[in-house]
Amino acid sequence: MTTTIHPLPDEQNSRLQAEYAATVAQKRRQFFLGMIIVALLVVLAAMGAEVDPHKFASNFWKFPRYFYDMTPKIGVATFFDDVAEWYWGLGKWLKLMAETLLIAYIGTITGAIAAFVLSFFASNSLSVNSWSKFAARRLLEFCRTVPDIVFALMFVVSFGLGPFPGVLALAIHTAGALGKLFSEVVDNIDIKPVEGLRASGASWTQQVRFAAVPQVLSNFTSYALLRFEINVRGAAVMGFVGAGGIGQLLIEYVRKFYYVDVGAVLIIIILTVMLIDYGTEKIRHRLIAMEGVS
Amino acid sequence: MNTSATKTSMRDRFPEIGEMRAKYAHAFKGDPRQRRLMYSIGSGLVALYVFGLYYVGFSPLMLINGFGKFGIVVKAMMPPDPGSWDNAVVFTRGVVETLAMAFFGTICAALLALPFGFLAARNIVSNSILHHAARRFLDIIRGIDTLIWALIWVGVVGLGPFAGVLAIITSDFGAFGKLFSEAIEAADQKPVEGIVASGGSRLESIRFGIVPQILPVLLGQVLYFFESNTRTTTIIGIVGAGGIGLYLTETIRTYLWEETSFIIVLVLITVAAIDWISSKLRVAIIGARPV
């Protein structure tokens, strides 16, 4: 079957075409204007950040060279011996890596507990009164805006060198970051169980315990696991300011130009981080699956 | 009214509940094997936590002592004071430098990561070896913290903000590559099929089928990373890679607490301003939906 498509009359067609062209042209103009503004900002930012293409070009060869220096000579015949020699400090490094993980773990748990308590006060649906809601929100904001390593710098002064300031810094930052996410989760719960309990005379704690917590627990755990991943990375650099973990050793090796050792420690950090990411992802997928069932 | 009293009175009023409980214990208590598993995992986690607290040397006394000293520090911080007008100018310039580093680094990282994101997306590159290699490469880059990248780049281009910019570009490249490839994989395939069916080339199908879908998502992510990079760049100076972090470390190490608090307040204001601007921009670009 054939159908003939009747073209629009010329006059109507040309008007439509002109309007289409005008609309497209305006969109293009806006787009290019935006691009010009962004480009200008980029140039300004490059000047502010002392970006120097010449310096970059003349030094760039040092970058691959750095990684080349980090790998020792490994022969095929003497492979195992060479690797064993490369990882001469494996016991010490693994112990420090374990300490790093422990710092991240305690920091995350402590922060998550604080966030758990504060999130209910900071939420819209379950807050006690507007004054405590305001206070809780400002407190969480402050905790997450100041970077964890700045807290660590100050805690190292008052608590002394060692892992404890690192734990405290991570815990405070975690409380701020998780508290915001948690309170958003609390805001999104089904409010009917809460109202049911309130109507039957339950206290605030009972409302939270029996109506809110069962709804939010899996989401909370998922966010806490995500935060744990981030904190493992954060704990690895806490040592830069003397707050424990493997970072202390890493910065020492970098400053003393022990390239090969830097490479060995970096590989340990990368493998650990990848392993943790993989593990937490598996657990989170199971949590999501569980949520679907209940 | 305590809970045990409520419980007994409930049992007295409804004796059949007690009968049911005795008869169908599993329905009330749940699967005993799962309960045992939950309890053992839970107690393991608690034990690790307690061991960890012991390991890092936690004790109430040291907490009191430490916070006592910290209280003195906080008291010394009040009021925030740059010390002199010259210092205030220097610190403000440090903050501006920080912003410039964050902005330039984010844009460059996004531009560099865009082609790589396509390479790491399963629906664009069907060669699974290439796709997996690209993914693992991005994982390795992301496994290294920005601060470590900054250390490496300081060794390459020397001290200064340029090393910091390069550190941001490198670490964000890994993160953007992953996010971009995920956005590309999540894109609807129907427009692509439509373009291919009407005779479009592979490149045209990407340009007109995928790019319009992912562009708002990518822009949202870039803005979000700009926000988070302003926070990161404030500390990158700790290893000598430019920005306000250098002054922050210096004032803390030399116990100039009033200047420290001035810098912290300056950073907080800047970060809040950037958050506000970028949330407005995000709403303008992609509407009021979360990234």
pLDDT along chain A (294 residues), means of 10: 75 88 90 89 84 79 81 78 81 91 94 93 84 91 87 89 92 93 88 90 88 88 90 91 89 87 89 89 80 49
B1 has a pLDDT exceeding 50: no
Domains along chain B with CATH numbers: 18-76 (no CATH), 84-286 (1.10.3720.10)
- Check B235 against A270: CB less than 8 A apart: no
Q: Collect all residues of chain A within an 8 Å Cβ-Cβ radius of residue B48.
A: 102, 105
Residues of chain A numbered 203-222 and touching chain B (CB < 8 Å): none
ipTM value: 0.78
The per-residue pLDDT for A102 is 94
Q: What is the pLDDT of residues A232-269, one digit of tens each?
A: 989 999 989 888 889 989 988 888 888 888 888 988 99
Write the CA distances from B138 to A18, B143, B227, integer angstroms. Answer: 47, 9, 21
User: Which residues of chain A neighbour B249 with C-beta distances below 8 Å?
Assistant: 153, 241
CB within 8 Å: B238 and A266: no
pLDDT the model gives residue A294? 43
Q: Is B3 left (phi over 0), alpha (psi -120 to 50) or beta?
A: alpha
pLDDT tens digits along B204-241: 888 888 888 888 888 888 888 888 888 888 888 888 88
pLDDT at residue B15 greater than cutoff 80: no
A154 and B252 within 8 Å at the Cβ level: the answer is yes
Pairwise CB contact (< 8 Å): A105 & B55? no
Q: Are B49 and A269 an interchain contact pair (Cβ–Cβ within 8 Å)?
A: no
Q: What pLDDT sits at residue A182?
A: 92
Is A254 an interface residue toward B (CB < 8 Å)? yes
Contact across the interface for B53 and A269, Cβ inside 8 Å? no
What pTM was estimated for this model as a whole? 0.81
Look at residue B4 and tell me whether its pLDDT is greater than 60. no
Q: What is the mean pLDDT of residues B30-40?
A: 80
In this prediction, residues B144-156 reach a mean pLDDT of 87
The amino acid present at B104, given as its one-letter code, is F
Q: Which residues of B touch A162 (CB under 8 A)?
A: 56-57
From the list A49, A254, A271, the residue facing B162 with the nearest CB is A49
Which residues in chain B are closer than 8 Å to A154, comparing Cβ atoms?
70, 73, 252, 260
* Predicted local confidence at residue B6, as pLDDT: 53
Mean pLDDT of chain B: 84
Contact A49 B96 (CB under 8 A): no
B192 CA: distance to closest CA in chain A (Å): 22
Among the partner-chain residues A99, A145, A234, the one whose CB lies closest to the CB of B271 is A145
> How would residue B2 be classed by pLDDT, with cut points 50, 70 and 90?
very low
* Among B152, B169, B211, B248, the residue to mutate for chain A (most A Cβ within 10 A): B152
Quick check: B237 contacting A, CB < 8 Å?
no
Helical spans, DSSP H, in B144-210: 146-157, 161-186, 190-197, 202-205
The reply to whether A153 touches chain B by the CB within 8 Å rule is yes
Contacts of B208 (CB under 8 A, 6+ apart): B191, B195, B200
Instruction: Please name the residue of chain A whose CA is at the shortest distance from the CA of residue B49.
Output: A106
pLDDT tens column, B87-126: 888 888 889 889 999 999 999 999 999 888 888 887 777 7
How would DSSP label each residue in chain A?
Answer: ---PPPPPPHHHHHHHHHHHHHHHHHHHHHHHHHHHHHHHHHHHHHHHTT--HHHHHHHTTHHHHHHHHHSPP--STTHHHHHHHHTTTHHHHHHHHHHHHHHHHHHHHHHHHHHHHHHHHHSTTT-S-HHHHHHHHHHHHHHHHS-HHHHHHHHHHHH-SSHHHHHHHHHHHHHHHHHHHHHHHHHTS-SHHHHHHHHTT--HHHHIIIIIHHHHHHHHHHHHHHHHHHHHHHHHHHGGGT-SSTHHHHHHHHHTT-HHHHHHHHHHHHHHHHHHHHHHHHHHHHHHHHHHH-
